[in-house]
Amino acid sequence: MRLALPRKELRPFVTTYYYTEAQCSAREPLLEDYLHPKWPNLRFIHAQTCESAVGGEELRAVPFFAATGPTSRTARFRMGSGQIWRIGLMPLGWAALVEARAGDYADRFVDALADRAFSAFHPLARALAQGEAGFAPGLELIEQHMDRIVARSAAIGVLSGGPIRAVNAALVDPEIATVAQLAERVGMNVRSLERLTRRAFGFTPKLLLRRQRFLRSLAQFVLDPSLKWLDALDCQYHDQAHFVRDVKRFMGMNPSEYARLDKPFLAAAARARMEIAGEAVQGLHRPQGVA
């Protein structure tokens, strides 16, 4: 797995570019993982087999160009030998570049080539579909395309996103624990805040804060599996039972079940993201301009 940060001007919209190459064997023809909740992602897949399921749904084939909205449930993911490019979008990136409300795509993935909401990315999908380009050529194609579509969005004046950036910055602040605190930080009433978060972030402010609390604990555990869960708990948890309820809500299993799972994709991505971006999971990625 190789990761690359977007250039500085694109960082308000994109978290990271990911390139994954899997080589499976006859003995182990598929790699499988349970991915944690994330911000939206766009995937371009060249693989013998690729299947996914969000939450409790049945596994189904993932199309070549798959768009996944923001998630609050684990995504079961498995693939055979092949390559995947993934573009992680910030909430502002979704709002500026996707022609749909994030809430309409929350906790699901779609065939993005068949969905007009993702038409800005269709030329990129067609270019990447030409073959298995490898890391350097693929990254160049992606960066050039992202430059073009962000420049086009800037030309029609949709990129300022002040309220979205403010909410995003507050969500990654561990001192913000309640919806009232979040609304006060960003200078909005609760009803306006709820409308904004459903449109750009996919969920209610209450669920987003709960998800962030869980992700802070999960990041510690994934980076150091030798930790006991109690040692990884975020300070906002009252006790272990409080945390167990969140693990079941977001991952669909209890902590001991999750700890026993192999995590080939998640562990590799967490280490790589920590090295280049300073955060182990995408949901903790700080928006540009936030210290």
DSSP-assigned states of every residue in 143-211: HHHHHHHHHHHHHTT----HHHHHHHHHHT-TT--SHHHHHHHHT--HHHHHHHHHHHTSS-HHHHHHH
**Cβ 106 vs Cβ 70: under 8 Å:** yes
| Residue 30 confidence (pLDDT) above 50 | yes
pLDDT at 156: 54
Q: Tell me which range, 198-202, 254-258, 261-265, 270-274, is most confidently predicted by mean pLDDT.
A: 198-202
Mean pLDDT of 2-7: 92
**Cβ 269 vs Cβ 277: under 8 Å:** no
Mean pLDDT of 229-257: 87
| Residue 158 confidence (pLDDT) above 80 | no
Alpha-carbon distance 68 to 43, whole Å? 8
The β-bridge relationship of strands 41-47 and 65-68 is antiparallel
CA angle 250, 226, 177 (to 5 degrees): 40
Residues carrying CATH 2.60.120, the chain: 2-155
Residues carrying CATH 1.10.10.60, the chain: 162-284
pLDDT, tens digit (0-9, with 9 covering 90-100), for 65-84:
999 999 999 999 999 999 99
CATH of domain 162-284: 1.10.10.60
pLDDT, tens digit (0-9, with 9 covering 90-100), for 122-149:
999 999 998 666 899 999 999 999 999 9
Alpha-carbon distance 182 to 184, whole Å? 5
Q: Which residue has the higher pLDDT, 160 or 172?
A: 172
pLDDT, tens digit (0-9, with 9 covering 90-100), for 177-235:
999 999 999 999 999 999 999 999 999 999 999 999 999 888 887 777 676 777 778 88
| Residue 119 confidence (pLDDT) above 90 | yes
* Segment among 31-35, 160-164, 250-254 with least mean pLDDT: 160-164
Alpha-carbon distance 238 to 213, whole Å? 12
Mean pLDDT of 235-239: 85
Instruction: Give the mean pLDDT of the chain.
Output: 90
Alpha-carbon distance 140 to 82, whole Å? 20
User: The CATH number of 2-155 is which of 1.20.1260, 2.60.40, 1.20.1270, 2.60.120?
Assistant: 2.60.120
Tell me the Cα Rg of the chain: 18
Is the alpha carbon torsion for 183, 186, 188, 192 positive or negative? negative
